Structure 1
Amino acid sequence: MGGLTYTMLDTTNLSTAEMYGNVLCELGKEHPEIVGLSADLAKSTKIGLFAEKFPNRFFNTGIAEQNMFGIASGMAKCGLVPFVSTFAIFTSMRALDQVHTDICYQNLNVKMIATHAGLSFGQAGTTHHCTEDIAIMRSMANLKVIVPADGMETANAVVQAYETEGPVYIRINRGFDQKVYENTDYDFRIGKAHQLTDGNDLTIIACGSCVYQAIEATKILSSVDGIKARVLNMHTIKPIDREAVLKAVYETRRIITVEDHNVMGGLGSAVAEVIIESGKGCAFRKLGIPDTFSIIGLHEDLMAYYEIDTNGIVENVRKLIGLEFEEDEDWEDEV
Structure 2
Amino acid sequence: MTETRTPARTDAPVTPAPGPDAPVYDCRTVFAEELAALAREDERVVVVCNDSVGSSNLVGFREEFPDRLINVGIAEQNMVGVGAGLANAGLVPFVSAAGPFLTGRALEQIKADCAYSGFRVILCGQSPGMAYGELGPTHHSVEDLSWLRAVAGLTVVVPADRAQTRAALRWAYAHEGPSYLRIPRFKVPDVTPPDAPFEHGRAQVLREGDDVTLVAIGTLVSRALTAAERLAAEGVSARVLNVPFVDPLDTAEIQRAAEETQGLVVAEEATLSGGLGAAVASLTGRHRPVPLRLLGVTGFAPTGSPEGLLEHFGLTADGVHAAARDVLGLPSSTS
Calculate the TM-score normalised by the size of structure 2: 0.89
Runs of 5+ consecutive residues of structure 1 not aligned to the other structure: 1-10, 325-335
Number of residue pairs matched? Answer: 310
Query: Are 1:221 and 2:228 matched, yes or no?
Result: no
Aligned equivalents of 1:217, 1:150: Cα separation in 2: 18
**Residue 253 of structure 1: CA displacement?**
2.6
**Residue 66 of structure 1: CA displacement?**
1.1
Partner letter of residue 298 of structure 1? S
SS of the aligned residue for 1:37 comes to: strand
**Residue 299 of structure 1: CA displacement?**
1.2
SS of the aligned residue for 2:264 comes to: strand
Aligned pairs for 1:213-252 (under 5 A) are 213-223=223-233, 225-252=234-261
**Residue 69 of structure 1: CA displacement?**
0.8
| 1:146 counterpart residue number | 157
Query: Are 1:206 and 2:216 matched, yes or no?
Result: yes
Aligned equivalents of 2:107, 2:149: Cα separation in 1: 12
Aligned pairs for 1:1-335 (under 5 A) are 12=23, 14-181=25-192, 183=194, 185-223=195-233, 225-278=234-287, 280-290=288-298, 292-322=299-329
Aligned equivalents of 2:317, 2:99: Cα separation in 1: 25
CA offsets per residue over residues 132-177 of structure 1, 9 Å max, x none?
1000011111100000001111000000100110100001222422
- RMSD of aligned alpha carbons: 1.6
Contact 1:69/1:99 (<8 A) preserved: yes
Contact 2:24/2:190 (<8 A) preserved: no
SS of the aligned residue for 1:101 comes to: helix
Aligned equivalents of 1:49, 1:257: Cα separation in 2: 37
**Residue 65 of structure 1: CA displacement?**
1.0
SS of the aligned residue for 2:54 comes to: helix
CA offsets per residue over residues 86-133 of structure 1, 9 Å max, x none?
011011101111111111111111000101111111111111001110
**Residue 178 of structure 1: CA displacement?**
2.4
Runs of 5+ consecutive residues of structure 2 not aligned to the other structure: 1-21
Contact 2:214/2:264 (<8 A) preserved: yes
Contact 1:36/1:51 (<8 A) preserved: no
Contact 2:25/2:189 (<8 A) preserved: no
**Residue 179 of structure 1: CA displacement?**
2.1
Contact 1:304/1:311 (<8 A) preserved: no
SS of the aligned residue for 2:94 comes to: strand
| 1:329 counterpart residue number | none
| 1:4 counterpart residue number | none
Partner letter of residue 267 of structure 2? V
Aligned equivalents of 1:57, 1:25: Cα separation in 2: 11
Contact 1:16/1:152 (<8 A) preserved: no
Aligned equivalents of 2:209, 2:65: Cα separation in 1: 47
Relative contact order (alpha carbons < 8 A, sep ≥ 6): 1 or 2 greater? 2
